[in-house]
């Protein structure tokens, strides 16, 4: 498999690692949108968020939380965005699941919501969308979370 992120994991492609454990690596994005913009990847190849097991997902987001906290404290960021581009239609370029963390600074003056303008078409279909989603049976894991 010719996966850039798998090559980073094996060490054949260099990366500026900022945190690592036995399951995940966090490294600085080579095309950063802000200072400290990093990616977190599982060491085991998984193509998309949908392919992650529930255990992997939980472990990964504990790691994401640790990395985000460390970034914010170390870089004196006033906030951060955590996002996933899942699938080509959503902008995923490398088919190895990854999470972005972008530290945010007051000096930026950027509001992330501007990148996602309100869709008036989607707004008109809210009730219809809800009905479609209600028709789909929830899986066992989702039911457990909803019952918290």
Q: Which residues are catalytic?
A: 98
The CA–CA distances, whole Å, from 10 to 7, 73, 114 equal 5, 29, 38
Instruction: Give yes or no for a contact between 105 and 78, defined as CB atoms under 8 angstroms apart.
Output: yes
* Per-residue b or e along 2-22, where b marks 16 or more CB atoms closer than 10 Å to that residue's CB: eeebbebbeeeeebeebeeee
């Amino acid at each position: 498999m010719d996966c850039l992120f798998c090559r980073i994991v094996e060490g054949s492609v260099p990366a500026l690692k900022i945190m690592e454990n036995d399951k995940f690596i966090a490294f600085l994005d080579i095309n950063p949108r802000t200072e400290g913009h990093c990616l977190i990847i599982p060491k085991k190849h998984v193509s998309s968020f949908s392919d992650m097991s529930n255990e992997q997902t939980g472990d990964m987001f504990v790691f994401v939380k640790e990395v985000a906290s460390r970034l914010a404290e170390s870089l004196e960021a006033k906030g951060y965005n955590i996002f996933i581009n899942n699938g080509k239609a959503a902008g995923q370029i490398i088919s190895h699941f990854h999470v972005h963390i972008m530290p945010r600074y007051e000096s930026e003056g950027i509001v992330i919501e501007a990148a996602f303008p309100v869709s008036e078409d989607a707004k008109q279909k809210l009730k219809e969308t809800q009905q479609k989603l209600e028709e789909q049976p929830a899986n066992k894991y989702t039911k457990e979370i909803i019952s918290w």
